[in-house]
Amino acid sequence: MPELPEVETIKRGLDKYLVGHTILDVDARLPRIFSGDSKKIVGGKIIEIRRFGKGLLIDLDNKYSIAVHVKMTGQLLYKEGKETEGTKGAVLRKVDIRSLPDIYTHVVFKLDNDATLFYRDMRQFGWVKIIETKDAQEMPFFKSLGPEPLKDLTLEKFKGIISKNKTAIKPLLMDQAKIAGIGNIYANDALYVAGIDPRRSSMSLSKSEQRKLFKAIEQVLKKGIEVGGASEWSYVDALGGAGQYQNFFQVYNKKGKPCKNCGTIIEKIILGGRGTFFCPTCQK
C-alpha cells in the first residue's frame, strides 16, 4: 500500500482504534514474513503509532515495538470487540473484516475487549518484526530513509538532492534513501503537475522547475492524505475501507487517455523498471 499517503491513512486509523489496547496473544501463521519473539509483546499495551516513510512502528509500553512494512498488498485491519462487532466492519467496502482471518491473513494479534488486529497480505511481500523500541532506528529499512516530504524535507534540502544527482528524476523521487515515502503513483502525478518529463536528468532541472516539483510533491501527497489514499489495487485503511485518490489520478494508469490539460494521449514507458505515465506535450 503503499505510499506515504496510504500508510499515513493506516497510521491515523490505528491511532484512533488501536492505541490503548493490550495484546493478549499473537498467532504468526506465515513465519516467513514474521520475525522476532512474539512472546515479548504479549501483555504489552499499545501507546503510539509512528510512520517513517512507508514503514510503521507500533510502540508498546514494555519497550517493545511491532515494525510493519506492507509493501505492495499488505493490510493492517482492526476489528472491534464482539459487543459492537459489525458497526464498523459492516460498512466496509473492499475487505469485509467480519470474514477474517482468511487464507491471506498471516498474523493475528488478539487484543483486549475482544478486538483483533490482522496483518493480511496477498502477495506476502511485506513483513512484521518484533523489536526493542530502541532498536527501531537501527533497522536497515528505517535507518536508510531520507527526509520526509511535508515534514523535514525543506525546499533547500530538496534542491540539494535534485542538483547533486544525474539520474532520471522519476527514479530519484522514488529512491527512499534520497526522499522517504514517494512511490510510483505520486511520483508520476507530481511530475505531471510540475510539467517535467520523468526521463529528465535530475540535475538538469532549473531552479524554477525544482521549486515547481517540490510544490507538486507536497500538493499530490496532501491530496492523497486528504482523500484517504489510492485504492486502485488492494490498499485499504485500518477498517478495510477504500481511499479515493484513484479518482484524482492525473496520469497514473491513464495510458491511452487524454491529458486533462491539453488532450494529448497519455503515454506509458518503463523507467527504472516501473510503469511510467506522462503527457508528452505538457511534460518537457
Partner DNA sequence: AGTCGCCTGGTA
Partner DNA sequence: TACCAGGCGACT
Nearest to 39 by CA among 52, 55, 28, 50: 28
Alpha-carbon span 49 to 57, nearest angstrom = 6
152 touches DNA (CB under 7 A): no
Q: List C-alpha distances in Å: 213 to 61, 209, 244.
A: 41, 6, 23
Number of other CB atoms surrounding residue 248 within 10 Å: 14
144 touches DNA (CB under 7 A): yes
Segment interacting with DNA, rule: CB under 7 A, options 9-17, 20-28, 211-219, 228-236: 228-236
233 touches DNA (CB under 7 A): yes
101 touches DNA (CB under 7 A): no
Minimum distance between the CB of residue 44 and DNA, rounded to whole angstroms? 25
Angle, CA of 48, 54 and 58, to the nearest 5°: 20
Residue 10 backbone dihedrals phi, psi, to 5 degrees:
-60, -45
Minimum distance between the CB of residue 86 and DNA, rounded to whole angstroms? 24
Three-state SS at 8: helix
The residue with cell 496520469 is: 251
Q: Which of residues 30-69 bind DNA (CB under 7 A)?
A: 32, 53-55, 69
The residue with cell 485518490 is: 245
Considering beta carbons, is residue 60 or 168 the nearer one to DNA?
168
170 touches DNA (CB under 7 A): no
**Contact in structure between 253 and 34 (CB atoms under 8 Å):** no
Residue 199 backbone dihedrals phi, psi, to 5 degrees:
-85, -10
Q: Which of 86, 160, 263, 275 binds DNA (CB under 7 A)?
A: 275
230 touches DNA (CB under 7 A): yes
Q: Take residue 282 and report the three cell numbers written for it.
A: 505538457
Alpha-carbon span 133 to 155, nearest angstrom = 31
Segment interacting with DNA, rule: CB under 7 A, options 76-84, 107-115, 137-145, 206-214: 137-145
8 touches DNA (CB under 7 A): no
122 touches DNA (CB under 7 A): yes
Active-site residue flag, 3: yes
Alpha-carbon span 108 to 80, nearest angstrom = 13
**Contact in structure between 280 and 267 (CB atoms under 8 Å):** yes
204 touches DNA (CB under 7 A): no
Minimum distance between the CB of residue 14 and DNA, rounded to whole angstroms? 17
Q: Which of 117, 185, 194, 220 binds DNA (CB under 7 A)?
A: 185
Active-site residue flag, 16: no
Q: Which of residues 243-272 bind DNA (CB under 7 A)?
A: 253, 271-272
Active-site residue flag, 8: no
Query: What is the distance, to the nearest Å, from the Cα of residue 225 to the centroid of all Cα atoms in its chain?
Result: 10
138 touches DNA (CB under 7 A): no
Catalytic residue ranges: 2-3, 54, 274
- Residues in touch with DNA (CB under 7 A): 1-3, 6, 32, 53-55, 69, 71-73, 103, 122-125, 140-141, 144, 165-168, 171, 174, 176, 183-185, 229-235, 253, 271-275
